[in-house]
Amino acid sequence: MAAASAAGSAVVAFKSAGVSHRRFANFRQLSSPVKLPASINLQCRSLSSVSPSGIKAQVATVEQASTEAAQIVEAPVVVVTGASRGIGKAVALALGKAGCKVLVNYARSSKEAEEVCKEIEASGGQALTFGGDVSKEADVNSMMKAAIEAWGTVDVLINNAGITRDGLLMRMKMSQWQEVIDLNLTGVFLCTQAAAKIMMKKKKGRIINITSVVGLVGNVGQANYSAAKAGVIGLTKTVAKEYSSRNITVNAVAPGFIASDMTAKLGGDFEKKILEAIPLGRYGQPEEVAGLIEFLALNPAAAYITGQVLTIDGGMVM
Ligand SMILES: NC(=O)c1ccc[n+]([C@@H]2O[C@H](COP(=O)([O-])OP(=O)(O)OC[C@H]3O[C@@H](n4cnc5c(N)ncnc54)[C@H](OP(=O)(O)O)[C@@H]3O)[C@@H](O)[C@H]2O)c1
């Protein structure tokens, strides 16, 4: 709580950008091989050689074709792991408000997950909750099955679920190590493998893995967490290479300190030190991370980005 309120006081209130359903229309059109109706290509090529009235007629044809294309567009199906709280919740809400069909995964917080669903539905989107531990293969398979049964496919996977079990190396118990590796790394592997099976058949998909700046530079007391997050970066780059020919992009987002339950555990003095190390002098907000993820998940311009790690950390690591 302390972290969240400290960050909140230093932050200019974040307002999520206005969203329009046109965004996912772009996603569908551009993430699949772009096949414009023949009439559009023809009109573009011959535009300079026609009379003004001819241009008007052609614009009408283009508009009509665009409308027809928009009508057959379907909302992307998105799976967000750990979407009941924090960054995952902000991501689910942003994508839901952008018109996606969102599977809201959680481990324990069923009430919070239901609230996320209700908020998405209230904004006109579709959502369902799925309680399951994404470090378990059976749960992951059931989760993907639930998305398929509800909406027929998975277009976007956001591997967000994560935990910390901090402690200095000398005192770190095997259980602390294993729990973090199991969820933060093996969970990403399991979900990615399951989603890629679906996406590769369609030759289309976007996978976004939430790593951390700690996976890039390490952090005292987080041998387990930084190892898992560094592993996610290696996994991201490898899967990006393996699936590029299937038109599946795979990227990692590396947040710095973001106001959430995870950072709320940090103590006063420690937090002061952290804030001093952040050039922008504040924690990030979950909605800011969600904005970057929404871009990578839906924006046509992101179709040419793969295998990258994008840091969002107020300038902490540069
Ligand atoms: N906050 C930061 O400063 C920060 C910085 C860098 C990276 N990150 C990364 O960003 C991601 C989200 O962090 P956050 O701060 O938003 O965390 P958070 O507020 O603690 O939320 C964690 C989410 O993960 C879910 N979860 C936990 N164990 C799970 C499991 N076994 N299976 C499925 N879901 C599970 C939780 O569900 P329940 O509510 O049901 O427990 C919750 O929805 C994590 O990967 C984290 O490592 C965070």
Which of the listed residues 106, 111, 139, 312 should we mutate to test ligand 1's pocket, taking the one with most ligand atoms within 8 A of CB? 106
- Give the Cα separation of 215 and 78 in Å (integer): 25
Q: Where are the alpha helices (DSSP H) in 250-285?
A: 261-264, 268-276
What SS3 class is residue 36? Answer: coil
65 and 178 co-located in one domain:
no
Q: How far is the CA of 87 from the centre of ligand 1 (A)?
A: 7
47 and 178 co-located in one domain:
no
CATH code, domain with 144:
3.40.50.720
Contact call for residues 296 and 91 (beta carbons, < 8 A): no
Question: Is the shortest distance between the CB of 130 and ligand 1 below 6 Å?
Answer: no
Element (H, E) at 205: strand 205-210
225 is a catalytic site residue:
yes
Question: Is the shortest distance between the CB of 161 and ligand 1 below 6 Å?
Answer: yes
54 and 148 co-located in one domain:
no
Q: How far is the CA of 72 from the centre of ligand 1 (A)?
A: 35
Structure token digits, residue 315: 């300038």
- Give the Cα separation of 39 and 64 in Å (integer): 10
Question: Is the shortest distance between the CB of 236 and ligand 1 below 6 Å?
Answer: no
- Give the Cα separation of 218 and 133 in Å (integer): 26
Contact call for residues 286 and 312 (beta carbons, < 8 A): no
Binding site listing for NADP(+)? 82-85, 160, 225-229, 258
What's the pLDDT band for 73 if we cut at 50, 70, 90? low
Nearest CA to ligand 1 atom 23: 82
pLDDT number for residue 74: 86
111 and 201 co-located in one domain:
yes
**318 assigned to some structural domain:** no
- Give the Cα separation of 291 and 94 in Å (integer): 7
Given the residues 225, 243, 283, 304, select the one marked as catalytic: 225
125 and 56 co-located in one domain:
no
Tabulate helix, strand, coil % of the chain (nearest 5): 60, 15, 30
146 and 236 co-located in one domain:
yes
Ligand 1 atom closest to residue 159's alpha carbon, by position in its atom list: 45
**231 assigned to some structural domain:** yes
From the DSSP assignment, how many helices (H) and strands (E) are in the chain? 14, 7
234 and 98 co-located in one domain:
yes
**192 assigned to some structural domain:** yes
**235 assigned to some structural domain:** yes
- Give the Cα separation of 27 and 9 in Å (integer): 36
203 and 58 co-located in one domain:
no
Residues 150-174, buried b or exposed e (16+ Cβ, 10 A)?
ebebbbbbbbbbbbbbbeeeeebee
**209 assigned to some structural domain:** yes
83 and 197 co-located in one domain:
yes
**227 assigned to some structural domain:** yes
pLDDT number for residue 262: 80
For 198: left if phi > 0, alpha if psi spans -120 to 50, otherwise beta; the answer is alpha
DSSP letter assigned to residue 125: -
Where do we find the tokens 């969002």?
A: 312
**250 assigned to some structural domain:** yes
44 and 86 co-located in one domain:
no
pLDDT digits (tens, 9 = 90+) for 294-317: 999 999 999 999 999 999 999 999
Candidates 14, 24, 4, 3; CA nearest to 294 is: 24
pLDDT digits (tens, 9 = 90+) for 15-67: 233 333 434 433 443 333 333 222 222 222 222 333 344 444 444 444 444 44
Percentage of residues of the chain with pLDDT beyond 70: 77
Q: What is the pTM of this model?
A: 0.82
- Give the Cα separation of 51 and 71 in Å (integer): 30
Nearest CA to ligand 1 atom 44: 162
**317 assigned to some structural domain:** no
175 and 153 co-located in one domain:
yes
pLDDT number for residue 257: 96
pLDDT number for residue 234: 99
pLDDT digits (tens, 9 = 90+) for 109-129: 999 999 999 999 999 999 999
Residues 74-85, mean pLDDT to the nearest whole number: 97
Q: How far is the CA of 105 from the centre of ligand 1 (A)?
A: 11
167 and 50 co-located in one domain:
no
What's the pLDDT band for 137 if we cut at 50, 70, 90? very high
Residues 199-206, mean pLDDT to the nearest whole number: 97
pLDDT digits (tens, 9 = 90+) for 246-257: 999 999 999 999
pLDDT number for residue 19: 34
Ligand 1 atom closest to residue 261's alpha carbon, by position in its atom list: 19
Q: How many domains does the chain have?
A: 2
Question: Is the shortest distance between the CB of 160 and ligand 1 below 6 Å?
Answer: yes
- Give the Cα separation of 10 and 227 in Å (integer): 31
Question: Is the shortest distance between the CB of 260 and ligand 1 below 6 Å?
Answer: yes
What's the pLDDT band for 12 if we cut at 50, 70, 90? very low
Nearest CA to ligand 1 atom 14: 86
The mean predicted confidence, pLDDT, of the chain is: 83
Q: How far is the CA of 264 from the centre of ligand 1 (A)?
A: 12
Q: Which residue range(s) make up the domain with 52? A: 38-69
Nearest CA to ligand 1 atom 19: 86
- Give the Cα separation of 188 and 135 in Å (integer): 8
Question: Is the shortest distance between the CB of 262 and ligand 1 below 6 Å?
Answer: yes
pLDDT number for residue 239: 99
